[in-house]
Amino acid sequence: MDSPSEPASAATSPVPASPRPRVWTVLVAFLLLLTGILVVSVTVASIAMAVELARTGVDPRDSKAILALTEQLKTMPWLQVAGVITSSLLGLAAALLGGFLSPKPLKERLRLGKGIPLPAWAWGAALVGCFTMGQALESLSVLTGVWDYTASLKGLQAVSQGSFATFALLLFFGTLVAGTAEELFFRGYVQTRLVERWGRWAGITGAAALFGFLHLDPIHSPMALMMGLFLGWLAERTGSLRLPIFVHILNNLTSFLLSRYAPSTAELPTSVHVTLLAVCSLAFVGTVVALRRMDVQSPEPGLAGP
């Protein structure tokens, strides 16, 4: 007589499903970051307005004079630098705090590992791709006439033409600090979670959309969104933030140096912008094709903590 078998229920007991990654934590972190930037920016701008009112003697009841003074503040170098310092430091703090609060190691949560080994040319190609995409979008905005509606980009150009002290601060906080902080937060803390929950391209797009929205400018925001898509793709392609951080820092550095030492975008003739749009678009497509053909396989992102 055969020995009794184990109960069927024990043999077929379902394996408990792992909990779905929580998205609300990164969304709350983004809202807190945005709120912090807005509060500090409004406070600093109010102080600047009060100082200018006292210095110029403008009557606060004169709406036209107040409007003109507000436009001047938008391109005031030290005020622009203060905004860059605020956003970069708060972004860095948000990324590190979110990583430290995660049950996973900080290096793993923010994707700071080495990732996939890359050929030397890939670093240069990624940088060329980011810069040519930005230049193509900038030329397109000038050709379509929408460049006049940007305030933040004109403000950054004004800072680049300012004193050496303000320009030096812009270079440090706008390149090294901002490039690192924004990648740690958006491509590290935010994107890894969104990709886990929504899938690769939905996660990349979601993080890029938040990155673009944070710039709060009708022209700069769409450009930042496109840049976020490219940098997000690089992060997923390589399994690390090292390449996106490298590209972001050097792209910002190149842009600021050109703003200071090259002719202004608005001063270039239409023929130059048409040429830049065509050449840079082709160069960008070429670099993306080359990077896609690299003999690497992007790893699946690991589960991250809250």
Q: What is the pLDDT of residues 257-302, one digit of tens each?
A: 999 998 888 889 999 999 999 999 999 999 999 999 987 654 444 4
pLDDT, position 302: 44
pLDDT of residue 14: 58
Q: Using an 8 Å Cβ cutoff, are 154 and 147 in contact?
A: no
User: pLDDT grade, residue 45 (50/70/90)?
Assistant: confident
List pLDDT tens digits, range 202-249: 999 999 999 999 999 999 999 999 999 999 999 999 999 999 999 999
pTM: 0.87
Whether pLDDT at 200 is above 80: yes
Question: What is the reported pLDDT for 303?
Answer: 41
CB 91 within 8 A of CB 33: yes
* 292 CB-contact burial (10 Å; exposed 0-12 / middle 13-18 / buried 19+): exposed
| Residue 44 pLDDT exceeds 70 | yes
With respect to residue 200, please indicate whether it lies within any of the assigned structural domains: yes
Tokens 């400018």 correspond to 217
Q: Is residue 11 part of a domain?
A: no
Window from 12-16, 134-138, 204-208, 299-303 with minimum mean pLDDT: 299-303
Query: Structural domain of residue 32, as residue ranges?
Result: 23-292
Mind listing the pLDDT tens digit for each residue in 55-72?
Answer: 888 778 778 888 888 877
Q: pLDDT: is 196 or 305 the higher one?
A: 196
> What does the pLDDT look like over 88-132, one tens digit per residue?
999 999 999 999 998 889 999 999 998 999 999 999 999 999 999
Residue 63 lies in a domain: yes
- Quote the number of domains for the chain: 1
Flag whether 62 is in a domain: yes
pLDDT at 304: 44
Average pLDDT over residues 32-52: 91
> Could you tell me if residue 171 is inside a domain?
yes
**CA-to-CA distance for 143 and 147, rounded, in angstroms?**
8
Give the residue from 230, 218, 90 showing the smallest Cα distance to 149.
218
Q: Does residue 68 form part of some domain?
A: yes
Q: Which pLDDT band, with edges at 50, 70 and 90, does 18 fall under?
A: low
Average pLDDT, stretch 143-149?
A: 91
Note whether residue 139 is domain-resident. yes
For 297, which DSSP code? -
Residue 116 CB: number of other CB atoms within 10 A? Answer: 17
Burial class (CB in 10 A: 0-12, 13-18, 19+), 33: buried
In a domain, 299, yes or no: no
